[in-house]
Amino acid sequence: MSVRYSRRSILTAALAGLLTARAGQAAPPDTSLRPVLRPGGHHKRAADSIDDILGGAQLLGRVAFTVADAQTGDVLEGRDDLRGKPPASVTKALTALYALDMLGPDHRFETRIMATGGIKDGAIQGDLILAGGCDPTLDTDGLAELAATLKTAGVSSVKGDFLVYDAALPVLSRIDPEQPDHVGYNPGISGIALNFNRVHFEWKRGSSGYAVTMQGRSARHRPGVGMASMRVEDRSMPVYTYRETAARDEWSVARGALGQEGARWLPVRKPGLYAGDVFATLAAAQGVRLKAPKTVSSLPESELVLAQRSAPLRDILKDMLRYSTNLTAEMLGLSASMMRGLQPASLAASAAEMSRWAKAELGMNSPALVDHSGLGDASSLTTRDMVRALVTAESSGLRAILKPVAMRDAKGRPDKTHPVKVLAKTGTLNFVSCLAGYITASDGRELAFAIFAADEDIRATLTRAQRESPRGGRSWNARAKRVQLALIERWSLVYAG
């Protein structure tokens, strides 16, 4: 029979022997018992290696990263950092820099009410025009204020038509054609937007079937919408179908997919008609009757009746980066390109202009973007280029509007007391997870970093219908996020002090 002794039992026995040998001795020890200092940098040697971090995550696909000193730009560590990958919503950080440079942090967008033919005894003699001014944050509450102000200004009737000018930006039916029809993060784009170009679909089952509503809902108002309709059909799949007509967004939903009640936001493909529909309802509530809205691609000669201004661009960008709103990014990117003198016919043309700007102003080498939000997975960016942009933009004010990213404790819970602080932009697509921003290490050293993880082989197999929630996508993303935080932990140990 063999006997196994633990390390603790051996040390305990040795200590007992030492005490016995010294019992009764009053003389001091011959040598000092002060502890011996460990060699410098022992905490750095305790950091997990890159191979351990990546191997432990069992993350299929490639992980690219770069970390650099945020002040000098000196690259401290990198892997696969010259290979372009889909940056997902990290693209929005570049869009924010683009908009700040071209429009300025205090820029405000205006939504205007215009009139033709003059106003006589409270009646607009010609047409009333709702003119979009590229404000991505306009909501139904804002339109309600415009309608109320119109009444206060003395307008009581309109003899002519109700026009909506929506062509201050290109009019596009969706951001990315490869996304499923029904996802609310892929709406249409134009020079006017309302509620992020989403309509609120709600259903409740009663004794005689389902009652459904389509509303331009906001915090204080719930006007019904006529330009978007929904039919409940006897089928199990597909859950949604969409058909576009000249005047309406026509939806159907599978009865088998509906429970007792529920709601979701659906994308709007005709933003101008949507805004006009809602405004006409709100104006009628003020006693001002309007005809059915018509969109126009050029602004007629007219006079200004009133205008509503957005919040400053800096505030809009902060919300965009926090909530990762695709429509906001696209409208701001298009507006910035037009400020540069471009008249883009597509998102790809505008994104190419932003890529040229990024090379000239941020020192990037090979950005190849197809939109301003990162929704299109044909965009390509290297982590080395992203970090170069972050270092160059250190004094631009970007850091102040990035979202804090919480580090985690040993149990995976957010740790507000963690000595390492991170401000960054996340980016998520199916089997793509990205993070880029700034790290403040425990000793105050500032680092700039970018981590792009992507399994492009799996992505290539996904059908259009699978892109909303593919099998295995959530668990893959969770592992990618653990890799990101582990790399940040490593860098905060290895490169602090």
- pLDDT score of 482 more than 70: yes
**Distance in angstroms (rounded) separating the CA atoms of residues 389 and 286:** 50
Helix axes 91-103, 347-362, angle to 10 degrees: 80
Matching residue, tokens 């270092």: 391
CATH of 46-105+313-494, one of 3.40.710.10, 3.30.70.270, 3.20.20.60, 3.20.20.10: 3.40.710.10
CA-nearest of 3, 77, 17 to 495 is 77
Q: What is the mean pLDDT of residues 456-470?
A: 85
Q: What is the mean pLDDT of residues 276-305?
A: 97
- Per-residue confidence band for 1, with pLDDT thresholds at 50, 70 and 90: very low
Note the pTM of the prediction, 2 decimals: 0.89
Task: For residue 197, give every residue at least 6 positions away whose Cβ sits within 8 Å of its Cβ, in sequence order, or none.
Answer: 187, 188, 189, 267, 268, 271, 274, 327
Residues 109-310: name the CATH superfamily: D-Ala-D-Ala carboxypeptidase C, peptidase S13 (3.50.80.20)
Matching residue, tokens 């404000």: 135
pLDDT in tens, 240-272: 999 999 999 999 999 999 999 999 999 999 999
∠ CA 199-200-201, rounded to 5°: 115
Collapsing DSSP to helix, strand or coil, 449 comes out as strand
**Distance in angstroms (rounded) separating the CA atoms of residues 300 and 122:** 21
CA-nearest of 407, 410, 395, 406 to 448 is 395
User: What letter represents residue 458's amino acid?
Assistant: I
pLDDT in tens, 135-174: 999 999 999 999 999 999 999 999 999 999 999 999 999 9
Q: What is the mean pLDDT of residues 21-33?
A: 40
**Distance in angstroms (rounded) separating the CA atoms of residues 497 and 494:** 8
Task: Give helix then strand counts, H and E, for the chain.
Answer: 13, 20
**Domain boundaries, given as residue ranges, for the chain:** 46-105+313-494, 109-310
Express as a percent the part of the chain with pLDDT over 90: 81
Task: For residue 230, give every residue at least 6 positions away whose Cβ sits within 8 Å of its Cβ, in sequence order, or none.
Answer: 201, 212, 214, 251, 252, 253
Measure Cα distances from 25 to 30, 183, 258 in Å: 12, 82, 86
Identify whether the C-beta of residue 255 lies closer than 8 Å to the C-beta of residue 249: no
CA-nearest of 307, 321, 397, 393 to 357 is 393
Tokens of 132: 């979009």
CA-nearest of 261, 248, 310, 296 to 112 is 310
pLDDT in tens, 77-109: 999 999 999 999 999 999 999 999 999 999 999
CA-nearest of 307, 228, 314 to 271 is 228
Task: For residue 135, give every residue at least 6 positions away whose Cβ sits within 8 Å of its Cβ, in sequence order, or none.
Answer: 109, 110, 111, 192, 193, 310
**Distance in angstroms (rounded) separating the CA atoms of residues 421 and 446:** 10
Cis preceding linkage at 238, omega within 30: yes
